[in-house]
Structure 1
Amino acid sequence: MHPLLLWLRAFVPPPSTVSRKEQLLSVFGAGFGLLITEIISRNALGTLNLWFVAPMGASAVLLFAVPSSPLAQPWSILGGNLVSALIGVACSRWIGHSGLAAGLAGAIAIGAMIQLRCLHPPSGAVAATAVMGGAAVDRLGFAFAVSPVLVNSVLLVICALVFNNIIQRRYPHHSPARPNPHLTQDPLPTERTGIIRADLDAVIAERGEVVDISQDDLEEIVQAAVMRARQRHFGPLLCGEIMSRDVITVLPEATLADAWQRLIEHKLTTAPVADEEGRLVGILSMMDFFVDPLIPAHLRTPNADLQVSDLMIRDVRSTTPQTPIETLVTLSSDDGFHHLPVVANEKLVGIITQSDLLAAMYKHQLGD
């Protein structure tokens, strides 16, 4: 392709990957936020004064269409709009109403927002509005930054908080922390090799540009891409192919002494708890005998006259025979699930341990 055509092609954005549902929610959310903000502002501030500023429309695009963007977070709109309005009024008073004042206000506002970590693109328009807004803004002076700018911003953020959380978007946007299950300072196992957070931070620092995505989201996307690549590499290797099928279980009504003896006999540290019909109802480990705070100290022995149901963990993480094994890597290594029962049709059909997973991956690597 001709270089000119390649250059012109860069002007055309790639196809959107946003679902139709998300598009409709963004449209409805922006309309909802702007309508509520305008109505409340008009009634609170009165129509004799300036009660609503146009840049709120641009803010609504970010808060409702791309709420995961660092530029759309509450501090970005509140801090960015307030600082930019103050700078715009100051430039208007000291330089006058001119293109020079508007340009200088926008430039200083951008620099201030970067330093204060509240970069918000519509705030550039707020700064220009403060300069070129005419008599209404002149009459308000620095009060323009509070009413209507800050009032509008606060109301729009409240609308975004309500709307985005009702439709189960994370807003303010953040990635849930994944602490080390052993409560040590070591990075999680999957973060010690391959592409890790430090690599992403270093590359972003080398580019030296503003990246409109948080490091947490970028890391999540990269890890998801690695997972897909892993799935392509391992092919259709499923949990049902590597699980142990002859599972040693204990009954919920068995005594702790019997359960302890069963674990010792089969050299196990953990065993699923299944009822007479084979339904998984819990899991029991040797550690439970000694650390369960609900069991009095003088009863925390294998010979205590208690049943397995008194001690077992009932909230059990399980998997299915059709689950690809690469999805177990994070569960097994990072989340600390060393034993994963396999359930099909509500019945326990197998169990996968870290040893099973390691052996399967090693054997597959040798096969390559």
Structure 2
Amino acid sequence: MLSDHLRPWLNALRPAPQAVNTRERLRVVLGAALGLLLAGGLSHALMPASLPWLVAPLGASAVLVFGVPASPLAQPWAVVGGNTVSALVGIACLRWLPLPPFAIAAVAVALAIGLMFLLRCLHPPGGAASLLMVLSATQDWHFAFEPVALNSLLLVLAGMAYNSLTGRRYPHAQQAAVMPAGAQVAPPRFGEAELDAVLVRYNQVLDVPRDDLADLLHEAELLSYRNRLGGLRCRDIMSSPVITAEFGTPLAEAWALLQQHRIKALPVVDRVQRITGIVTRADFMRAAEADRRDGLAGRLQSLLKPSPGTHSTKPEVVGQIMSRQVRVASADRPIAELVPLFSATGHHHIPIVGEQARLVGILTQSDLVKALSHGP
């Protein structure tokens, strides 16, 4: 009975597996060695011989700067600010608090953590820097800048150079990544507001930058879709044949097709079935000035009614109201890659093209739901 309660507790103490290959481990080890060599060597050359040329907390800082350079706790301001501010707090507590040494140590570390939170430079080795000032009975304010601040600055500079040369972004911006103009990247199902709300609810220091967390969740979501949908391609679930229109199709005829087949869009094709646009119910509403709520039915009816004579002041055919920018997908494209488009961008239908970019089908939200419900 005791073992049933003890086993889960013992299992919780087991170290978590690290998904880091040998090459990355060697990169971190070599970086820490070079970073400390640079920081220690230059500090030794620049500082008076009477001062220590390297402080112990810098070893822990090196683990963060080279081991987890994306971490908010490892960024330049966190390293330099956290170590320096904490050292100043330790010196201040030692000089001004009339308490036993063990009490001063506890207060100094606690105050250092609070100040690092306030100044947005939380850095775990900062707690060690504060404690070091107390244990070494250091009361000289200058010590917080030489060697603590100098050591930290040199380590950060080494981290910038080494991480960049070895393919790691450092400093790592701690905000959502800005996508280049024109980039065709499917967004995740959750938005910025949802992610922020979850982080607020989590209410703990997260040792992962926000943009990396979003990317990881997005990749995990796509992998989940791939696993559920298996090897399904667009051609496997698309609707075919497709109800289409041409540029010169009268608006009344196109509207009748939408109503008759209970669909939301008509791909517009040329004579060889290549996509030239798409017309949706929204396009009809826009042409009928749906933003004016009075008399919408009448305006729609007027739009659909052909104008007498050879000249008209309103649209008459599909080509005049269709959307020319159409997102399409190839018949061989994996279904999993299109899921975020439907879930996050408002797409209800994506035309599917085959050889020579000719229309072969259309993929709708209904098709996707059926595929997901029958997935493995």
Same-fold status (TM-score > 0.5): yes
Asked if the contact 2:352–2:361 (Cα under 8 Å) also holds between the matched residues in 1, the reply is no
Q: Which amino acid aligns with 2:37?
A: L
Kindly indicate whether residue 160 of structure 2 is the aligned counterpart of residue 161 of structure 1: yes
Q: Which string of whole-angstrom CA distances, capped at 9 and with x for unpartnered residues, describes residues 146-167 of structure 1?
A: 1111111111011111111111
Using the alignment, how far apart are the partners of 2:17 and 2:215 within structure 1? Answer: 22
Q: Which string of whole-angstrom CA distances, capped at 9 and with x for unpartnered residues, describes residues 196-252 of structure 1?
A: 4433332332333222223322222222111111112211013676799xxxxxxxx
Using the alignment, how far apart are the partners of 1:14 and 1:66 within structure 2? Answer: 16
Q: Secondary structure at the match of 1:202?
A: helix
Asked if the contact 1:77–1:153 (Cα under 8 Å) also holds between the matched residues in 2, the reply is yes
> Number of residues paired by the alignment?
292
Aligned counterpart for 1:235 among listed residues 202, 227, 230: 230
Using the alignment, how far apart are the partners of 2:360 and 2:217 within structure 1? Answer: 26
Q: Which amino acid aligns with 1:107?
A: A
Using the alignment, how far apart are the partners of 1:177 and 1:171 within structure 2? Answer: 17
**Equivalent position of 2:113 in the other structure:** 110
Q: Secondary structure at the match of 1:269?
A: strand
Matches for 1:118-197 after TM superposition, within 5 Å = 118-134=121-137, 137-138=138-139, 141-174=140-173, 176-178=177-179, 190-191=188-189, 195-197=190-192
Unmatched runs of 5 consecutive residues or more in structure 2: 240-268, 278-327
Using the alignment, how far apart are the partners of 1:354 and 1:190 within structure 2? Answer: 25
Using the alignment, how far apart are the partners of 2:48 and 2:87 within structure 1? Answer: 20
Asked if the contact 2:105–2:131 (Cα under 8 Å) also holds between the matched residues in 1, the reply is yes
Using the alignment, how far apart are the partners of 2:118 and 2:12 within structure 1? Answer: 31
Asked if the contact 2:329–2:350 (Cα under 8 Å) also holds between the matched residues in 1, the reply is no
Matches for 1:259-338 after TM superposition, within 5 Å = 268-269=275-276, 324-330=334-340
- TM-superposed deviation, 1:339: 9.4
Residues 1:340 and 1:91: Cα distance change in structure 2 (over 3 Å)? farther
Deviates more, 1:235-244 or 1:8-17: 235-244
- TM-superposed deviation, 1:320: 8.8
Q: Which amino acid aligns with 1:115?
A: L
Aligned counterpart for 1:77 among listed residues 69, 76, 79: 79
**Equivalent position of 2:57 in the other structure:** 55
Asked if the contact 2:222–2:336 (Cα under 8 Å) also holds between the matched residues in 1, the reply is yes
Residues 1:322 and 1:125: Cα distance change in structure 2 (over 3 Å)? farther
**Equivalent position of 1:255 in the other structure:** none
Q: Which amino acid aligns with 1:101?
A: I
- TM-superposed deviation, 1:61: 0.5
C-alpha root-mean-square deviation of aligned residues, in Å?
4.0
Q: Which amino acid aligns with 2:78?
A: S
Q: Which amino acid aligns with 1:177?
A: V
Q: Which amino acid aligns with 2:19?
A: T
- TM-superposed deviation, 1:323: 5.3
Using the alignment, how far apart are the partners of 2:358 and 2:188 within structure 1? Answer: 22
Asked if the contact 1:243–1:350 (Cα under 8 Å) also holds between the matched residues in 2, the reply is no
Q: When the two structures are superposed, what TM-score results if normalisation uses the length of structure 1?
A: 0.66
Q: Which amino acid aligns with 1:114?
A: F
Using the alignment, how far apart are the partners of 1:331 and 1:203 within structure 2? Answer: 22
**Equivalent position of 1:293 in the other structure:** none
Using the alignment, how far apart are the partners of 2:95 and 2:230 within structure 1? Answer: 67
Kindly indicate whether residue 26 of structure 2 is the aligned counterpart of residue 24 of structure 1: yes
Residues 1:23 and 1:230: Cα distance change in structure 2 (over 3 Å)? same
Using the alignment, how far apart are the partners of 1:120 and 1:165 within structure 2? Answer: 21
- TM-superposed deviation, 1:177: 2.0
Q: What is the percent sequence identity of the aligned residues?
A: 38
Residues 1:127 and 1:230: Cα distance change in structure 2 (over 3 Å)? same
Asked if the contact 2:274–2:359 (Cα under 8 Å) also holds between the matched residues in 1, the reply is no
Q: Which string of whole-angstrom CA distances, capped at 9 and with x for unpartnered residues, describes residues 51-90 of structure 1?
A: 2111000000111111121111111111111211111111
Deviates more, 1:165-174 or 1:24-33: 165-174
Kindly indicate whether residue 213 of structure 2 is the aligned counterpart of residue 212 of structure 1: no
**Equivalent position of 2:96 in the other structure:** 94
Residues 1:106 and 1:27: Cα distance change in structure 2 (over 3 Å)? same
Asked if the contact 1:88–1:128 (Cα under 8 Å) also holds between the matched residues in 2, the reply is yes
Using the alignment, how far apart are the partners of 1:162 and 1:334 within structure 2? Answer: 38
Residues 1:60 and 1:180: Cα distance change in structure 2 (over 3 Å)? same
Query: Rg: which structure is higher?
Result: 2
Q: Which amino acid aligns with 1:116?
A: L
Q: When the two structures are superposed, what TM-score results if normalisation uses the length of structure 2?
A: 0.65
Aligned counterpart for 2:198 among listed residues 203, 214, 218: 203
Kindly indicate whether residue 28 of structure 2 is the aligned counterpart of residue 9 of structure 1: no
Using the alignment, how far apart are the partners of 1:44 and 1:351 within structure 2? Answer: 71
Using the alignment, how far apart are the partners of 1:364 and 1:29 within structure 2? Answer: 48
Asked if the contact 2:234–2:335 (Cα under 8 Å) also holds between the matched residues in 1, the reply is yes
Using the alignment, how far apart are the partners of 1:218 and 1:201 within structure 2? Answer: 11
Residues 1:320 and 1:13: Cα distance change in structure 2 (over 3 Å)? farther
Q: Secondary structure at the match of 2:37?
A: helix
**Equivalent position of 1:254 in the other structure:** none
Unmatched runs of 5 consecutive residues or more in structure 1: 183-187, 245-262, 271-317
